[in-house]
């Protein structure tokens, strides 16, 4: 795996050491049990896999190269590089400007750009329509196109599905940048429709099995399907791909469910005529993060802390898994911990909550700790320090951490 040049202030010497030890002991990632770190009366259960993935490190490296290689030039990001506020704030503090927000709302008009400007495409990629609009303005959008190769893999698979007359079913959030981009690439090759979850997949299944009318189906998926979508024609042969940050297990469950619908109609021997095998589109990093989270669920702990941007899809899915077993706190960084209190995000209600005390009143405390794929390790270590500081003074924390070397 390629090593990227990411600014050192995103790294954590402590967590880098733990990751290096695990990689040496288990290079093929067959063991997803957490690393255990004893610091004073705290036991931190640290996920086997967490933090920056390949696509994120690639995007950050190329963003900083753009800054270094073009001093004095105007540099723009199409939208947020990744869903982490610290990374995006650092880029903007270096002079990079955002052209759009995460929902595609224009912040700076494209027609104000010139061919001398530098435009970076974020890791999520972008739509074919936006690519064409920027190209028509004479802008070079390839030199600093940081689209994740695993997102491009989904696009390539969608193209192949279109060539074989399959309708492309995208498991994703229709308003997410990556899904908007994937949908754009998909409809260039054939019909496409976006399903958010199993509940929406079951609406498709109801139509496939003759239990729901085309009118009802079209009404529900309005704005989430290609123009002229005809259920009778376009749901006769499908392939499922996904937004790479969705739960891989949910994508597989949706695929298996839709497969069962076609089998009930046509028999298993004929399934290849109605549904493509698309397991190869699942992102390795999303799979690893989620497998590591399942490894955490096999442990006993008092609480879980998940660190990441509040608009990060992959981070919210880690929370979704962990809250099945532990009191789980979703925070963006260490500033959310203030003394014994914690401010945390409820991704179900989209509200910021405050808990005046979140650590149990006992001597020994076991804390599950992980982060999303766009969260720097340095922020995770800062969170660890903030938790330790609830029970120890600054000098005591420094001494405890020094004793780990």
Residue tagged active-site, from 131, 177, 178, 200:
178
Q: Are 245 and 178 in contact (CB under 8 A)?
A: yes
For residue 193, list its beta bridge partners. Answer: 169, 225
Q: Nearest 5°: CA angle at 252, between 346 and 147?
A: 70
Helix-strand-coil split of the chain, %, nearest 5: 45, 15, 40
Q: How far apart are CA 381 and CA 385, in angstroms?
A: 6
Would you call 178 a catalytic residue per the annotation?
yes
Q: How far apart are CA 278 and CA 248, in angstroms?
A: 12
257 to 149, 199, 260, 310: CA distances (angstroms): 28, 11, 5, 30
Burial 190-224 (b: 16+ CB within 10 A, else e): bbbbbbbeeebbbbbbebbeeebeeeebeeebeeb
**Residue among 27, 24, 19, 85 nearest 53 (CA):** 19
Could you tell me the two tokens for 264?
Answer: 């009930």
User: Is 103 strand, coil or helix?
Assistant: coil
Which residues fall within 8 angstroms of residue 179, CB to CB, at 6 or more apart? Answer: 170, 172, 173, 194, 243
Q: Are 190 and 165 in contact (CB under 8 A)?
A: yes
> Which positions are catalytic?
178
């Amino acid at each position: 795996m390629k090593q990227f040049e990411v600014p050192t202030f995103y790294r954590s010497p402590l967590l880098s050491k733990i990751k290096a030890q695990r990689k040496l002991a288990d290079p093929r990632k067959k063991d997803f049990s957490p690393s255990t770190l004893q610091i004073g009366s705290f036991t931190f259960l640290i996920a086997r896999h967490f933090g920056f993935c390949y696509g994120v490190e690639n995007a950050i490296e190329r963003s900083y190269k753009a800054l270094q290689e073009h001093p004095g030039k105007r540099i723009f990001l199409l939208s947020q590089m990744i869903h982490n506020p610290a990374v995006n704030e650092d880029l903007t503090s270096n002079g990079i400007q955002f052209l759009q927000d995460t929902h595609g709302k224009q912040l700076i008009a494209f027609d104000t750009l010139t061919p001398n400007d530098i435009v970076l495409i974020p890791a999520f990629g972008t739509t074919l329509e936006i690519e064409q609009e920027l190209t028509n303005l004479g802008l070079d959008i390839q030199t600093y196109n940081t689209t994740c190769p695993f997102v491009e893999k989904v696009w390539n698979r969608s193209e192949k599905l279109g060539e074989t007359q399959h309708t492309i079913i995208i498991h994703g959030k229709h308003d997410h940048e990556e899904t908007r981009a994937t949908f754009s690439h998909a409809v260039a090759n054939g019909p496409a429709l976006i399903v958010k979850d199993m509940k929406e997949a079951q609406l498709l299944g109801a139509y496939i099995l003759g239990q729901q009318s085309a009118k009802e189906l079209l009404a529900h998926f309005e704005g989430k399907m290609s123009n002229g979508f005809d259920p009778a024609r376009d749901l006769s042969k499908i392939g499922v791909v996904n937004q790479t940050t969705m739960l891989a297990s949910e994508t597989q469950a949706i695929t298996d469910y839709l497969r069962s619908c076609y089998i009930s109609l046509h028999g298993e021997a004929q399934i290849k005529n109605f549904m493509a095998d698309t397991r190869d589109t699942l992102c390795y990093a999303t799979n690893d993060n989620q497998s590591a989270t399942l490894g955490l669920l096999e442990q006993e702990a008092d609480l879980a802390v998940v660190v990441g941007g509040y608009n990060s899809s992959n981070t919210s899915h880690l929370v979704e898994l962990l809250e099945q077993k532990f009191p789980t706190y979703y925070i963006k960084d260490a500033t959310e911990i203030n003394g014994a209190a914690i401010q945390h995000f409820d991704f179900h209600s989209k509200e910021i909550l405050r808990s005046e005390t979140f650590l149990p009143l006992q001597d020994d405390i076991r804390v599950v700790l992980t982060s999303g794929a766009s969260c720097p390790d340095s922020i995770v270590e800062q969170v660890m320090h903030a938790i330790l500081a609830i029970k120890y003074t600054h000098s005591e924390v420094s001494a405890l951490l020094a004793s780990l070397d």
